Amino acid sequence: MLDKSAPQSQTRSAGPLTGFRIVEFAGIGPGPFACMLLADMGAEVVTLDRVRAGKNLKSVAGRGRKVIELDLKDKAAVAQALELLANADALIEGFRPGVMERLGLGPDVVLARNPKLVYGRMTGWGQEGPLAQAAGHDINYISLTGALAAIGPKERPIPPLNLVGDFGGGALYLVVGVLAALLEASKSGKGQVVDAAMCDGAASLLAMFFDLAAMGRWDGGRESNFLDGGAHFYGVYECACGRFISIGSIEPQFYRLLREHAGLSDAAFDAQMDRKAWPTLREKLTEVFKRKTRDDWCTIMEGTDICFAPVLTMKEAPDHPHMAARGVFVERHGVTQPAPAPRFSRTPSTIREATAADITGVIDAWKAGR
């Protein structure tokens, strides 16, 4: 069952980023997710949102913030934002290029008041280039990198949720960039702009596949390579119950175990790495896995070196014994959500409450703490 008292969900930890102050300009997608990670790790994150935005203080991605409503079209509000940023360590914004400059909050203005500030910018296309001002979403950014073309069945590419662009290629690269710039600023005393673009990050995530292509081990077709569903020993199979399992028996020793536990005595399975044999072997393996339920296959294979796992739904995942034992999911305000990651041995992360705040009070507190 779901562990509602996992250590990561408690408020006793300081976290490795305790003492760092980050100002977030409210947005959607990767920016808020990046700030969730930073808040979980102990940073004090203050979110500047629109007046009467009606921010849900109990949302998962919005957890751990102090939320301040501010009309940035008002010069007095902009002056308050600048005063807050004068005592911050980092800023994160996800507007189109030029918006912050038009508000009077661009890097030149902000860094002139706080030269040590790290100015994190999250966009899809980047701060410059022919598409910089065009609207887009995750699916568009990963389309241009080659990532989307490689994902899905032969018939057509399939969007991999928004994990590759928004969160993998966007938020995580923004966090890495901001943390690296904070580390450098602690030595040089100088801040800088971090230009995190989802198209850049998604392209970076393809590094291994460009390597494989250069070695002649990856072609451009979907379901024709060993990691994209083309190989019979790496993929998803339906069981007798209509649910699914996944196997990843790439290495010879793991493949041997797969054959032993699945009863694959047919000599045709000797040709593990023969691409021409893969379609036929996949058909044979499809028929084998449909003979038993998912639970049956879990009893036979889970915990072995086959590289096996049941394909769980988001509803099922929290109650899996391994996920429950590690407290991978926790419950807050009646909402099941991921616990903080990664884990730290001495300064563990924690989920903090999001609260409405007054900007004058935060400014005064930050000034006093300097």
- The residues that are catalytic are 137, 166
Work out the number of other CB atoms within 10 angstroms of the CB of residue 364.
13
The answer to whether 66 and 24 are in contact (CB under 8 A) is no
Q: What is the CA radius of gyration of the chain?
A: 24
Nearest to 118 by CA among 199, 219, 17, 206: 17
Smallest CA-to-CA distance from 312 within 243, 224, 263 is with 243
Tokens 């296959």 sit at which residue?
A: 297
DSSP lists the bridge partners of residue 122 as: 196
SS3 per-residue string spanning 203-261: HHHCHHHHHHHHCCCCCCCCCCCCCCCCCCCEEEEECCCCCEEEEECCCHHHHHHHHHH
Whole-number Å distance between alpha carbons of 221 and 211: 16
DSSP 95: P
Beta bridge partners of 9: none
Give helix then strand counts, H and E, for the chain.
13, 12
Q: What is the DSSP letter of 164?
A: I
Q: Is the dihedral of CA 311, 316, 318, 320 positive or negative?
A: negative
